[in-house]
Amino acid sequence: MTISGEAAGIIDVVLEGGPANLPTELRSHRVSPVEHKIKVRHYGGYEHFERDSGGGEAPVVFRWTGRTRIAE
């Protein structure tokens, strides 16, 4: 079975920080290794996370940087 280049480059990441009530299942993702920002929809807004500049350990850590509200 051949794995496409896109699927082969997927990495596991964990989200740290942010609201205490952010569900555990939203704190782990699989993303492209070139992603540097992730936003997660949560309670009428988005929680923003940016890649930590730490070492190359797996899973990669993204740290909370802030929240924005969804405009109505």
Quote the CA–CA distance of 54 and 69 in Å, as a whole number.
29
Residue 56's pLDDT band, with cuts at 50, 70 and 90, is low
Q: What is the pLDDT of residues 2-55, one digit of tens each?
A: 444 455 588 999 999 999 999 999 999 999 999 999 999 999 999 999 999 766
- Please count the structural domains in the chain: 1
Do 40 and 46 contact (CB within 8 A), yes or no? yes
What residue numbers bound the domain in which 57 lies?
Answer: 5-69
pLDDT of residue 68: 97
